[in-house]
Structure 1
């Protein structure tokens, strides 16, 4: 019986293992899933190095939002260890001045309120408008933020604001790559995913309708199905152990 490859699922800002709970369950027959904890938050390079230090020798890499930014840095540091790459709701572009200013406003507000309030305010941008009344989904997102905590939120935001432009590095990616966007993602819209797909050779791109930024939680069945199809068609048949 073939050994199941390791697959790292990298969380988003204010995210933890709950972000990928459906996928780690649904794909456990194909891969050995792991959800790293971000431990070194002084920079994106340090954060990626921390993930690599605890990761197996080779692995499939999957990241959403901040997880995608971290995945780009892992590809810079250790591309030979990555067997395949899946990028969800992310961007290879750095923050512009407007986005940085928005993050600084959130950090200022955190000093005036709590992390649950901040994450609740962010829901308008995180999920599709039709899901704002979905109490189970929204409560799960806020609960993740509370578990991550305000200190990690601040450190993660600083890491994100300081991240480099990853677009010049995308042409060097040689492993099978899947790119997935929510059609109504207000944070990383489809056009930034289309840009990545143009810059990565033979990347497969998929758009999920009626979906915002938190695709793994908003549309868990669709995300699991896309990953399963990609793994079976493009990754596992060609994987080198």
Structure 2
């Protein structure tokens, strides 16, 4: 029986964001990609992961999905065989964050979700990648498959996220933290802090990629995930 690997999607992202890695890993693993349309809390999102999950599984989350992964670990650490966190964060909502996010949510509600595809999506890419028509179109199309209510719900979930500092300190499974070196939304410095908090964590910075690292550098991310999936678990399981 193949080991189960969950890949969790971020804000305004669907399975396309993981497409390259899910396809490649699917030859050897039972890969399950989850997005969170219709949900508006970290708790509900964690429930969606856990409800059909096996007793033990590997868990990777990108952006908002990384925060969901930390909530899953908070709830069921004994079930997580290994953890990967990509271009994400761990702090609670910052002062003024709600107001900044409200501007885009309001725009989406008044003008439609497509109106924020460029204003939200393009800055998620490394500057050089913003000139790649196919990549830009893929991001625009992905955002366009969402809706203003979906965006508002996921934003509520993000704004209600708990501080995950203590979760990071308690992680006792093989953990890899991955970040695009040119991620201006959740920068490498934050991921270095996360790696310092997690016992034994490995950090991978992906050259030439921004926040949408799996789409911008699919091969490099796949290689990192393959290394993550090959990390030994014996030491962690015995502690």
Shorter-chain TM range is over 0.9
- The equivalent of 1:149 in structure 2 is 147
Distance 1:163 1:25, change over 3 A: same
1:77 counterpart = 2:86: no
Distance 1:144 1:39, change over 3 A: closer
Q: Distance in 2 between matches of 1:54 and 1:142?
A: 31
Q: Distance in 1 between matches of 2:236 and 2:164?
A: 26
Report if the CA contact (8 A) 1:183-1:210 is conserved.
yes
The within-5 A match list for 1:161-200 is 161-200=159-198
- Between 1:103-112 and 1:180-189, the stretch displaced more is 103-112
Q: Distance in 1 between matches of 2:234 and 2:36?
A: 27
Report if the CA contact (8 A) 1:40-1:46 is conserved.
no
- The equivalent of 2:227 in structure 1 is 229
In the comparison of the two structures, how many residue pairs are matched? 238
Partner of 1:35, secondary structure, is: strand
Unmatched tracts of structure 1, length 5 or more = none
Deviating beyond 3 angstroms after TM superposition, the runs of 4 or more aligned structure 1 residues are: 233-240
- Between 1:221-230 and 1:35-44, the stretch displaced more is 35-44
Report if the CA contact (8 A) 2:92-2:161 is conserved.
yes
- The equivalent of 1:61 in structure 2 is 59
TM-score (normalizing by structure 1): 0.92
- The equivalent of 1:118 in structure 2 is 116
Report if the CA contact (8 A) 1:8-1:60 is conserved.
yes
Structure 1 residue 101, shift from structure 2 partner: 2.2
Unmatched tracts of structure 2, length 5 or more = none
Q: Distance in 1 between matches of 2:230 and 2:46?
A: 27
Q: Distance in 1 between matches of 2:130 and 2:47?
A: 36
Q: Distance in 1 between matches of 2:68 and 2:38?
A: 12
What RMSD in Å do the two structures reach over aligned CA positions?
2.0
Report if the CA contact (8 A) 2:186-2:211 is conserved.
yes
